[in-house]
Structure 1
């Protein structure tokens, strides 16, 4: 029997990525090897409940949604995450994986949409970025940079250029809420004519809530 430790399963609007605003079922796996200073889901580091994969999918089915997001924590920290995504994809769901970019994504089902969050300097986890993952990205995937200050912005721009990311997949720039002024970030993107998607976490605007409930 294949078990995953789950913090929560909930139905809400997608608050980030290029499917923002779409009704989505979120499966939040427990555990993460990173400790980003701006993390808004530290409650998922520990605890959770072990649930069999088929039972997880049965709960997801009840919502009647098309879009599924597998998130954490860091979902790839649990090897069974790969099997969960494969089974969801086999059922016809559109599945996105929110991952830190610190763990190997080479075994992720190619049908899944990878939303990979490269850690900026202010996260405190810059050294954890696994740049080898870039070769496993394609046009349907997304790379996210969470911007906390000018240093993060300049570093992110340099990574865009070094790895030619805009010609590989979609790029997301997101401000750290309460730290990086979103208007200032938007104006920088326009001034520098960056080929990126600016995003604000919709769920925090609608519900002032990190989880998107």
Structure 2
């Protein structure tokens, strides 16, 4: 049976995406092949402890929550992630996957909501974007841009138009905390009539950068 290296499993409010504010169990897998300059979970790059899928599901079950988010790091960097997603879906959870978009999502269980990043130029990892993944997104999924500055905003606008992203799934624009003023980003979205969901990171407003919150 696959062993998965886990950084933490915790219960908190979802801070982002369509289910923001809902009590959710987070399963944070260890490891990531990317090094985005705004990363706020570098503590998940290494360490952690190995757990079997059944052990993970048992711990998730103990929180009595309807929602589960599998995140990282980059969860798809571990072979066992797909099996974990299948097991959580089989338990009738509403499962979401937070992924960088740099790794293949074609085999992700179709019941899982994919929250997939397109890395902006200022992230330092734009070259890792796997555009083939867009073919595997549908209306239940979400595509996220983390915006650090005006150049990122213009780049994200151009990708939306070029790739018809808002017709494929919901698009999220998120200001990078500490670098992009959220009010300014909100005003740009309204000015340009963009069909996107503006989001801030609720968990950071409530608890800052505290791990496991």
For normalisation by structure 1, the TM-score amounts to 0.99
Deviations 1:174-202 (A, max 9, x none): 00001000000000000000000000000
Residue aligning to 1:115: 115
The 5 A counterparts of 1:89-100 are 89-100=89-100
String of CA shifts for 1:28-60, please: whole Å, max 9, x gaps.
000000000010000000001010110000000
The equivalences for 1:8-19 within 5 A come to: 8-19=8-19
- What is the RMSD computed on CA atoms of the aligned residues? 0.7
Q: Distance in 2 between matches of 1:212 and 1:55?
A: 19
Q: 1:15·1:212 contact (CA, 8 Å) conserved in 2? A: no
Question: What number of residue pairs does the alignment pair up?
Answer: 213
The alignment partner of 2:68 has SS state of strand
Is the contact made by 2:9 and 2:212 (CA closer than 8 Å) also made in structure 1? no
Is 1:133 the counterpart of 2:138? The answer is no
Relative to structure 1, is the Cα distance of residues 212 and 56 closer, same or farther in structure 2, using a 3 angstrom cutoff? closer
Matched, 1:146 2:152: no
Q: How does 1:69-108 map to 2 (within 5 A)?
A: 69-108=69-108
Compute the TM-score of the two structures, normalised by the length of structure 2: 0.99
Task: Give yes or no for contact 1:204–1:212 (8 Å, CA) kept in 2.
Answer: no
Q: Which residue of 2 aligns with 1:62?
A: 62
Alpha-carbon distance, 1:212 to partner: 5.8
Structure-1 residue corresponding to 2:180: 180
Q: Secondary structure at the match of 1:18?
A: coil
Which runs of 5 or more residues in structure 2 are unaligned? none
Structure 2 SS opposite 1:178: coil
